[in-house]
Amino acid sequence: MKPTIDQTAFGSITIEGTVFTHDVIIRRHGQVEKRKKKLSKALYGTSHILSQDEAKFVYEKGTHYLVVGTGQNDNVRLSDEATTYFKEKECQVSLLPTPEAIQAWNHAKGDVIALFHVTC
């Protein structure tokens, strides 16, 4: 079941009434996990660029749509390799500031996953 996101503020996201104070991934079947941003940080020195390794971790077979909450100030981007990876998987990616990404997630239908950056 796809959980509803209630709100976000700088440094947090509230999903089905539970407040998370770290970046999260929401899987196809509704599981909420902590983002493994060290997969990107190890390569780029920042979690604001999503690496191919992190893209592979985030992606689930059969997913057609990924919502990325790029932070309160819209700072997260996909690396060129991650962009290519999602295109090869035929997975559409929407990069939106986290407050807007929440709306996209809550209205999304079908095989959708999400990654939300909760700070900058």
Residue 3, pLDDT score = 97
Measure CA 69 to chain center.
Answer: 6
Residue 1, pLDDT score = 82
Each domain of the chain, given as residue ranges in start order, spans 5-116
Mean pLDDT over all residues of the chain?
97
Residue 68, pLDDT score = 98
Structure confidence at residue 96 as a pLDDT band (50, 70, 90): very high
Return the bridge partners of 43, or none.
none
Determine the average pLDDT of the residues in 54-76: 97
23-34 pLDDT, tens per residue? 999 999 999 999
Q: Is the confidence at residue 5, as pLDDT, over 90?
A: yes
Residue 13, pLDDT score = 98
Q: Is the confidence at residue 87, as pLDDT, over 90?
A: yes
Determine the average pLDDT of the residues in 111-115: 97
Residue 110, pLDDT score = 92
CATH number of 5-116: 3.40.1230.10
